[in-house]
Amino acid sequence: MGALMVIFSLQTKQRRKRTDSVEDELELSAVRHRPEALEQLEAQTRFSRKELQILYRGFKNECPSGVVNEDTFKEIYSQFFPQGDASTYAHFLFNAFDTDHNGSVSFEDFVMGLSILLRGTVQEKLNWAFNLYDINKDGYITKEEMLDIIKSIYDMMGKCTYPILKEETPRQHVEIFFQKMDKNRDGVVTIDEFIDCCQNDENIMRSMQLFENVI
């Protein structure tokens, strides 16, 4: 979970000065977002009030409007993986955090997801992972969706993978995973198949934990 643990605790970067204009003010007022009371978030997550205050301070430093759009999310996330191309995986990750699919991630979206990833139960983490892999959010994971995610992870890791991966390696891994998960051979993986397989296969759980480190 390394990247997202610190992603919004960075010091505010030097940003290009924007020209003062009525349009800028209108844009900011349109997207400005006030978070729910910390007490409510404390009850809904596994973070303490102090932890939420620290996270919020970092979030506001990077996203003064109170929400982050996909381009900003990609820009921040890519800083942690300069050796590869993180843009595609950041896109999938952004969509997993954007639970109401409105094109932006609020502080609430961010800490709710982070709470599950860092301190959730195995079941909660697997539910979250299923949502990540279910790219079109239809309740099923197809082989192509799984391949898109795995390929994006390898692209992001870039030259850090050892030994150097062959081009067909992601597809080979997906074939193995999918064959184990798709119990009834109907060409899709349901959430029950996904969770059952992950919980009962040490190799897949180990792989899932490795991939968690890039979240």
> Which of 29-33, 116-120, 138-142, 188-192 shows the lowest per-residue confidence on average (mean pLDDT)?
29-33
pLDDT at position 31, please? 41
**Omega cis (within 30) before 170:** no
pLDDT at position 36, please? 60
Q: Quick one: how far is CA 43 from the chain centroid?
A: 22
CA atoms of 141 and 124, how far apart (whole Å): 17
pLDDT at position 17, please? 38
pLDDT at position 197, please? 92
The mean predicted confidence, pLDDT, of the chain is 81
Which tens digits make up the pLDDT trace of 49-70? Answer: 999 999 998 888 888 888 999 9
pLDDT at position 63, please? 87
CA angle (2, 8, 13) in 5-degree steps? 120
Crossing angle between the packed helical segments 169-181 and 202-212, to the nearest 10 degrees: 130
For 113, residues 6+ apart whose C-beta sits below 8 A from its C-beta are: 96, 97, 99, 128
Decide if pLDDT at 212 tops 80. Answer: no
CA atoms of 28 and 2, how far apart (whole Å): 30
pLDDT exceeding 70 applies to what percent of the chain? 75
Select from 189, 192, 190 the least CA-distant residue to 200.
192
pLDDT at position 19, please? 37
Decide if pLDDT at 30 tops 60. Answer: no
Decide if pLDDT at 1 tops 70. Answer: no
Q: Could you tell me the pTM of the whole model? A: 0.77
* Domains recognised in the chain with CATH numbers: 35-119 (1.10.238.10), 122-214 (1.10.238.10)
Which tens digits make up the pLDDT trace of 74-128? Answer: 998 888 888 889 999 999 999 999 998 999 999 999 999 999 988 999 899 999 9
pLDDT, mean of residues 193-208: 83
Decide if pLDDT at 23 tops 80. Answer: no
Q: Quick one: how far is CA 19 from the chain centroid?
A: 33
Decide if pLDDT at 8 tops 80. Answer: no
Length of the chain: 215
Split at pLDDT 50, 70, 90, the class of 173 is confident
pLDDT at position 211, please? 53
Crossing angle between the packed helical segments 87-97 and 122-133, to the nearest 10 degrees: 120
